[in-house]
Each structure stands twice: as C-alpha cells, then as structure tokens.
Structure 1
Amino acid sequence: MKTILTLALFFSLTIAFAQAEKEVSSQVEKLRLALIDPTVANLSELSSIHLSYGHSSGKLENQAQFIEALVSGASDFATVEFQDQTIQLEKNLAIVRHNLAADVLDGGIANSIKIGVILVWHKEKGDWKLIARQAYKLPQ
C-alpha cells in the first residue's frame, strides 16, 4: 500500500511539473511574439510590475521602460528566435535560459544579434509573469 501511495505521489508531481513547464514555455513563446509585435496590452500581461529587465549593454529597465522601448520602436525586432532553451522550475519560480538570435532595426539600420538570455518567471495569482531578464554577450 505504501508503494502505491508513493507511486501515486510521484506521478502527480510529475504531471504537475510537466504542466508548469508547459505553461512557462507558452509564456516564453508569447514573449517572443510580443518582441516582434509589441503592444502595451501583451507586454503588460506577460511582465510583472516589479520587472527588472537587463540588456547585454548593461542598460536596466523597469516594466514601464521595457514596454515603452518596444512599443515606441526604440527596440525594433524584425525576427526573433530562441535557441537551446532550458527551463528549470522551483515552486513558483522558473528560470529559462536560451540564446536569442534576432534581426533588429537600430535607427532604421538592420543588424543581426545573438546574445545569451536568462529569464526569471514568477507565478503571480495563477499566471506566470516575467520578473527578471538579463542578457549577456556570448563568447566569440
């Protein structure tokens, strides 16, 4: 009987973990699409009001600055691809790592970038929200 209860607990935890990983992965994909087609609504829905958004240049933004930069076109992504993504879950936190490959327009000038990114998602009132992001330069 104890073995059956242990197995039942193991399977229920495995299912819960898989569900949480699927939810986080879905949010990350929504973020990728929002970088290409940003609106105040979609970026607000994905991010926490406590957001700390770090760029590979060292520039830091809060939620309002992050949203404004994308919606205004100051950060203008033509394409975005997330490569080699991993998701690590711990209770109501998720750490996502990937490489971001993108075509961007900087002042109307096309540029291709590839940077490393770590995202921290926090489950707030049943929804996964981006609470922290840090980009970094990859070794050449």
Structure 2
Amino acid sequence: MIKRTMLLVAAFSSMALVTPAVNAADETAAIEAAAEQLRALMVDPDKTKLEALIAPELSYGHSSGRIDTKERFVDDLMSGASDFLSITISEQSVQAVGDTAIVRHTLTGDTHSKGKDPARVSLKILQIWQHQGSEWQLLARQAAPL
C-alpha cells in the first residue's frame, strides 16, 4: 500500500512539473496568434475585430513620437489615414509574465497613407499585451525607427 501511494505521489508530482511548461507554451502560442492577428488587421482592417483585440486603455506610440488612443488608432486604420499595404514581422520574441506579455519584433512594411507618398518603413516594435477574460488584448505599443 505504501509503495502504491508513493508511486501515485511520484506520478502526480511529475505531472505538475510538465503542466506549467505546456501551459506556458499554450500561452505563448496564444500571444503570438494575437500579435499576428493585429499584423493582419493593420493591413486589412476590420473595425469589430480591431476593437475586440485592443484594450480600451491602449497607448499606441508611433515612431514619429505621436501617441494614439484606441479610438484614433482604429479610426486611422479604417479611414486610410494610416494605410499599410504590407507588413512583415521578424525577430519576434514573446515573454509572458502572469497576465501580461511583452512582445518585441522588427516590422518592415509598405505604407501609402492619405496625403503621403508611398513609403517603406523599418521599425523596432515593443508591444504589451494583457490577458482580459479569455483573450489577449493589446494594451500598449511603441515603435522606434531603425
């Protein structure tokens, strides 16, 4: 009986060691999926999807130094004031810390925003994501030119 109890304890202990790693991998995958959804929506905006993906408190820092709110960021994408023709993400890293995640990557893309000539952008991006309910939402973003 004691051997059986010890085997059960050992089995449950080993499961406890594996479960956090699996959960961490699942969370990283969910954060990466949210970041990819944002990339896709910046190229092909959908207001309903953008509003669901972005936290109401968004602080969105452009490489020019301008800071946007959620409302202005979404409005600029929907109106074409900010128009990304393409976005490629590289060198991405994701670090989950409780209900918060830090995503860093390099963004290269082509833009053709209203009133501006077409341009190629190369930026370093920092995003802060927050777990809200069952989803990850963008809480903050800061871009810096390369």
- Shorter-chain TM-score: what band? over 0.9
**Mapping 1:9-88, distance limit 5 Å:** 9-88=16-95
Shift of 1:5: 3.8
- The count of aligned residue pairs is 138
Higher-Rg structure is 2
CA-atom RMSD, angstroms?
A: 1.2
- Counterpart in 2 of 1:123? 131
Structure 1 window deviating more from structure 2 (2-11 vs 24-33): it is: 2-11
SS at match of 2:65: coil
Which has more strand, going by share of residues? 1
User: Any runs of at least 4 consecutive aligned residues in structure 1 with deviations exceeding 2 A, and if so which?
Assistant: 1-7
Shift of 1:32: 0.7
Shift of 1:9: 1.3
Shift of 1:48: 0.3
Question: Between the two proteins, what is the percent identity of the paired residues?
Answer: 31
1:100 maps to which of 91, 99, 107: 107
Shift of 1:108: 5.2
Q: Distance in 2 between matches of 1:14 and 1:26?
A: 18
Q: Distance in 1 between matches of 2:121 and 2:31?
A: 24
Structure 2: 5+ residue stretches without partners: 1-5
Q: Distance in 2 between matches of 1:118 and 1:4?
A: 41
Give 1:65's aligned amino acid. Answer: R
